[in-house]
Structure formats: C-alpha cells, structure tokens
Amino acid sequence: MSDSYDTPVSIGMKRIGELLIQDKRLDGRGLLDYREIKTETGIVGKANGSALVSLGKTKVMVGIKVETGTPFPDSPEEGVLTVNAELVPLASPSFETGPPGEKAIELARVVDRGIRESKSIDTKKLCIVPGKKVFIVFVDIYVLDHDGNLFDASALASMLALSTAKIREFETKDDAVVYKENLVSLPLQNHVIEVTMAKIGDKLVVDPSLEEESAVDAQITIAVDDNNMICATQKSQTGVFTTTDILQAVKIAQAKATELREKFLGGTHE
C-alpha cells in the first residue's frame, strides 16, 4: 500500500475510522475542508517562475525553466511542456535517493495531465521557428516535506509558478530568436486545479493528511479547469470505489476547485 515507513499503526487507523463515523477528522476539519494553504511565488530568482505551496505541513516547491529546443515531429508548431517530480529524501523518511520511482513518476504525470489536457499553456504561442525551434517549458516539482496529498499541493504550486513565470519577449528574425528587454508572462489560456479525495470506510474526505493516507482504502484525484470541465482523473491506492462515489467525487472536486481558484488563482487571471 504505502512505503515501509508509513506502515499504518492500527490504533491510529481505528481512531480515524471512529471519528469519521461522526463526520469528524483527526485534526478537527470537516470532511470537505482543505488544510491551511499558504503560497509564495517568485522565490527562485534564477528560474523563470517559482512557487512554494504549504498545504498543512506538506511543502512543495515548483520551479519553471523555459529553454529552447526542437519540437515534437507530430506538433511542429507547438512548444513543449514537460513535467518532472522529485521526492527528495529530505522530505520524508520513506523517500530514498535515486532516480524517480513509481510514486514520483505518477505524481509528475498526473500534474502534467491536468495542465496538458486543460491546455492551460497555449503552446502554439511558444513556437519560434516552425518545425525547428520552440520553447520548452520545464515544470519541476520538488517535494520538500511530505505530510500527505502531494498531488494537490504540486498541482497548485505548478499552476502558480506558471502563472507568475516571466520570459523575455521575443521575436523571430531569419530563423533566429531575438530577445527584447521587457518581460512577459507565459501564454496561459486556462488554469487547472486538482482535488484529491480519499475514501475511508464509506466516507469521502478532501485533502487527506499523511496520517489519513495510511488509513485510506482508495484515493481519487480530479482535475478541473476554469470552465468547470473535468480534464484528468487518477484513482490511486489499492482500494475500490462505487460509481456513485466517483460521481460524488466529481461534484466535490468541481466545487472545491472553484473555491481554490478564487482564493489563489483569481488574482492571476488574464
């Protein structure tokens, strides 16, 4: 189920279950409440964009680097988005050094899916020379402290970093890039919020903490865009959901995404 260090202690799991029957959680939150969220952007000067999100005690930092490169052959006039995640060992006793394992890869791909399927970045505006040169947007997720729900923290930090990222304004002259002095934002046309819910017993709870994650049967992450459309879903962990659970989760995700969007991405809308 989870890493060896996160082996659930059965007393804790029992407590979580007992509280849930009364619609209560360990930290006193309501079933649909997020932990306290704090955000900071523009921290890393050397990156084009950066954001640090604290979700309860979970801390995730995302850095954006924009570089030039060749486009993919099947999309010669579009820039490239690439998302990577690292669960650095200092973030948790259960993270080890080495290349990204399945957990890090899943995290990166789920965040990527949200950004990509919502077409948050207008990649057509990142083309420099069609077929030859485009901008590559590197979204690097760096988990600094793991206290549960890395998906939502990473997705929010990524979106914040992208929406505050700056690149030098450019124009193409004879197949070469000419950079101007002024800084402009990345061409964003949408925003995505990811909402993770856990099923414990027969209750759905939003934003599971690490302790709750150890008692979880199954977990679902749903990505919602500015138009309330669902653009990605990922069920994780080894439990199961009913169809009703899923549809209920979608409705919750849409509602919570609207809340988070207003709170944290409202100021960055075009």
Partner 1 sequence: MNRNLNQTKNEKLISEDGKRADGRGPNDLRPVKIEIGTLEKADGSAYIEWGKNKILAAVYGPREVHPRHLALPDRTLFRCRYHMAPFSTSERKNPAPSRREIELSKVIRDSIEPVIFTELFPRTGIDVFIEVLESDGGTRCAGITVASLALADAGIPMKDLVAACAAGKIDDQVVLDLSDIEDQKGQADLPVAISPRTERISLLQMDGLMSYEEYEKALNLAVEGCKRLHAMQQEALKKKFAVDEEEAKGETEDEVSSE
Residues that bind partner 1 (CB under 8 A): 72, 74-78, 100, 102, 105-106, 108-109, 113, 116-118, 220, 225, 228-243, 245-247, 250-251, 254
Smallest gap from Cβ 254 to partner 1, in A, equals 7
CA nearest neighbour of 25 among 1, 3, 56: 56
Q: Any bridge partners for residue 179, and if so which?
A: 170
Is 42 or 239 the residue whose CB approaches partner 1 more closely?
A: 239
Is 30 or 101 the residue whose CB approaches partner 1 more closely?
A: 101
CA distance 25 to 13: 11
Smallest gap from Cβ 150 to partner 1, in A, equals 14
Is 178 or 247 the residue whose CB approaches partner 1 more closely?
A: 247
Q: Torsion angle of alpha carbons 250, 156, 97, 1, nearest 10°?
A: -20
Is 237 or 268 the residue whose CB approaches partner 1 more closely?
A: 237
CA nearest neighbour of 114 among 191, 227, 218: 191
30, HSE (Cβ side, Cα atoms, 13 Å): 2
Smallest gap from Cβ 22 to partner 1, in A, equals 25
How many residues are recorded in the chain?
270
Smallest gap from Cβ 124 to partner 1, in A, equals 9
Smallest gap from Cβ 9 to partner 1, in A, equals 14
Smallest gap from Cβ 107 to partner 1, in A, equals 10
Q: 230 near 153, Cβ under 8 Å? A: no
CA nearest neighbour of 144 among 95, 103, 107: 95
- From residue 103, how far is each of 86, 106, 143, 235, 242 by CA, in Å? 9, 5, 12, 13, 24
Is 172 or 242 the residue whose CB approaches partner 1 more closely?
A: 242
